[in-house]
Amino acid sequence: MSQCKIFLDNYTGQYLCGSPIQGRVLLNFSSQTPLRVVKVRVICHEHTEWLGTESYYDSEEKTHKSRDVVFKGDSDVFTDGIMLYGDQHSTTALSMGQHIYPFTIRLPQNIPGTYQSEKGSVVYKISAIVDRPMAFDYEDEIVIVVHSPIDLGALGKPELLRPTSYSDEKTLCCWCCAQGPISMDIELPKKIIVPGETVEVQIRVTNMSNSNVEGVKLELKQRITYKAMDPSRDEKLDTHVLVDLSDVGVGAHGENTYAFKVNLPPNVSIPNFAQCRLFKSEYMYKAVAKLPSIHRHLEIKMYPEVGHIAPSQGQPPSYGAAQPPVATAPPEVSGTYSSSNIGWAPPTAPLIDLKEQEASRGYGTNGQFEPPPPSYGSLGV
């Protein structure tokens, strides 16, 4: 029985963007095999999917209705590959026996990282293909994990490191009488933050009204937008609270200054959607001065850049157990949480036993490749 197998020599559970993928393609043919080409291909594919509703016109009942529909989106972010033997435009043949072809493919730098959530995924696959004319191709495929840290220094925006001020105010009105204004002033030391870092945000609330400010709150939110193209365009937005801080309010004709220490947990999931068409992520600080229920709260929104590597670092950090290799959507947050409540969610699917997988692909218990018995008649190419 003929077969095609692909083996990775330098895979330790994840590849870093820009790193080489090194491996071999092993072919075992039971007879002389006509073919066009033997090739290896790497594909990064993004997929979105969720259940929604769409409106349509029922021509029989002459009325507008709605129905459930599955929205989907699919796109190849990038593909790369090399031909190991043959020519795509002509036919050749390989003799019976075993043929081994080593290969190296280097991943680009500016690529997304592996991502998984209920509404979508970014998946990397590397495939070995024997393109046979007038017959089914021989193929083998491995799903790999790619980690792509976000380097904030690569944005080329030095202004992100400078202090920034924000302010807003509102005047409370009760029937015909206008009260004094309530103002909120914010000092943000810089507009970037990385996991494990603490940023102190200064908020000053001045209350010149006759009402109390019931509380002051600061949140750091992650907003992920998913896009679908079929059967029509649609979008979904997931918002996750990464940091939630709050303090007491300010009485009438009072003033208070707050120093909120925003600590982004070191193991928080920060996905990289570089070059993706179906995913987008952004981050938002939201400062709120809570007012009595008959009034709308005073809010200020700020949009920082969040990544893995701060501009001053220059070198990627060490990606150990604290930095998850696969980015996932953070767990849903309800109620009031502090930054210590946000943790790494374990995968919902069982983990693959890599040793067992390697053994089934021809790797011995010591992790070294063990070729088939000599009776295969290894042939040089």
Indicate if 33 and 77 belong to the same structural domain.
Answer: yes
Indicate if 56 and 197 belong to the same structural domain.
Answer: no
Indicate if 335 and 191 belong to the same structural domain.
Answer: yes
| Mean pLDDT, residues 70-96 | 94
Indicate if 77 and 170 belong to the same structural domain.
Answer: no
- CATH number assigned to the domain comprising residue 26: 2.60.40.640
- Among 136-140, 172-176, 290-294, 314-318, the range scoring the smallest mean pLDDT is 314-318
Indicate if 118 and 165 belong to the same structural domain.
Answer: no
d(CA 63, CA 67): 13
* Residue 228 reports pLDDT greater than 80: yes
Domain membership of residue 244 (yes or no) is: yes
Domain membership of residue 345 (yes or no) is: no
Residue 104 belongs to what H/E stretch? strand 97-106
Residue 358 belongs to what H/E stretch? helix 354-360
What are the contacts of 59-68 at 24+ separation with CB within 8 A?
Answer: none
Indicate if 169 and 114 belong to the same structural domain.
Answer: no
Residue type, 264: L
Indicate if 92 and 219 belong to the same structural domain.
Answer: no
Q: Note the pLDDT of residue 253.
A: 93
| Mean pLDDT, residues 302-314 | 85
Inter-residue contact 18 to 109 (CB < 8 Å) = yes
Indicate if 198 and 303 belong to the same structural domain.
Answer: yes
Domain membership of residue 265 (yes or no) is: yes
SS3 assignment, position 276: coil
Which sign does the torsion angle of CA 84, 85, 91, 94 carry?
negative
pLDDT in tens, 321-377: 344 557 777 654 433 333 333 333 333 333 334 344 444 444 444 444 444 433 333
Query: Counting runs of H as helices and runs of E as strands, what totals does the chain give?
Result: 1, 23
Indicate if 112 and 213 belong to the same structural domain.
Answer: no
Q: How many domains does the chain have?
A: 2
Indicate if 208 and 285 belong to the same structural domain.
Answer: yes
Inter-residue contact 132 to 139 (CB < 8 Å) = no
SS3 assignment, position 213: strand
- Residues forming a β-bridge with 343: none
pLDDT above 70 covers what percent of the chain? 81
Neighbouring C-beta atoms of residue 284, cutoff 10 Å: 14
State the residue range of the domain holding 200.
Answer: 156-340
Q: CA Rg, the chain, in Å?
A: 28
Domain membership of residue 257 (yes or no) is: yes
Indicate if 226 and 264 belong to the same structural domain.
Answer: yes
Q: Note the pLDDT of residue 174.
A: 60
Domain membership of residue 380 (yes or no) is: no
Average pLDDT, the chain: 84
- Among 101-115, 160-174, 276-290, the range scoring the smallest mean pLDDT is 160-174
Indicate if 243 and 296 belong to the same structural domain.
Answer: yes
